[in-house]
Amino acid sequence: MDVFDCIRTRRSIRKYKEKDVPWDDIVEILQAGKYAPCAGNIFNLKFIVVKNEDKRRDIAEASVQQHWMADAPIHIVVVGEPEKAERYYGTRGVRLYTIQGAAAAIENMLLTAHSLGLGSCWVGAFDEEEIRRLCNLPEHVNVQGIITIGYADETPTAPPKYRIEHTMYFEKWWGRIEGPKTALGMWSPVIKSAVQRTHKHIKKHVNKLKEKIRKK
């Protein structure tokens, strides 16, 4: 699957089939998370794979009662080790770099799952202390997110997205020097060319019509 197609077509899946996920696919998803960018190449994350049905049900309950999560055959709990980043980057390592690294790893895993024909969802609402208890986590680590993985039993429609020209500026906040030269926006060269051809076509036929009127 083309990378951009994978990004564009990925959806958050909340309904799953009763079908096991091959272990090889799980490992490939974890490998994708491992290759995410991280500050100073200090990979301070751990991935806890949860397959046990009772524990998945407990995790769903601890995730503000999102009971649909229990239907996903795999949960991946993404755990941060902020102390490792703090040694090199101080408070910024704890409050920013660890979170950024976890987010990058989670997105890598979501996209890889989609490329393997699997559905997934990034869950950020949960009782961290309860997840800590369920996964037997030490005090010096924190829960960054939970990913549900499985075969999708739904096909969500594409959510609305802003046009590219509504999400970018040039050089500064509110900088509107010129339109982006991209087929994704209203300033697309393709669109501009089509408009110019249409104008020429209309002008040609208007001139013909005027000529007929004169002859009459």
What's the pLDDT tens digit per position in 19-28?
999 999 999 9
Residue 149 to residue 185: CA distance in whole angstroms: 34
The CATH code of the domain at 3-150 is: 3.40.109.10
* Structure-block tokens of residue 18: 């009763």
CA 19 to chain centre: 24
Confidence of residue 193 (pLDDT cuts 50, 70, 90): low
pLDDT for the residue numbered 216: 67
Q: Specify whether the CB–CB gap between 78 and 42 falls below 8 A.
A: no
Confidence of residue 197 (pLDDT cuts 50, 70, 90): confident
pLDDT for the residue numbered 194: 65
pLDDT for the residue numbered 185: 52
pLDDT for the residue numbered 80: 98
- Min mean pLDDT across 44-48, 130-134, 163-167 is at 163-167
β-sheet bridge partners, residue 3:
none
Asked whether residue 3 carries a pLDDT value surpassing 90, the answer given is: yes
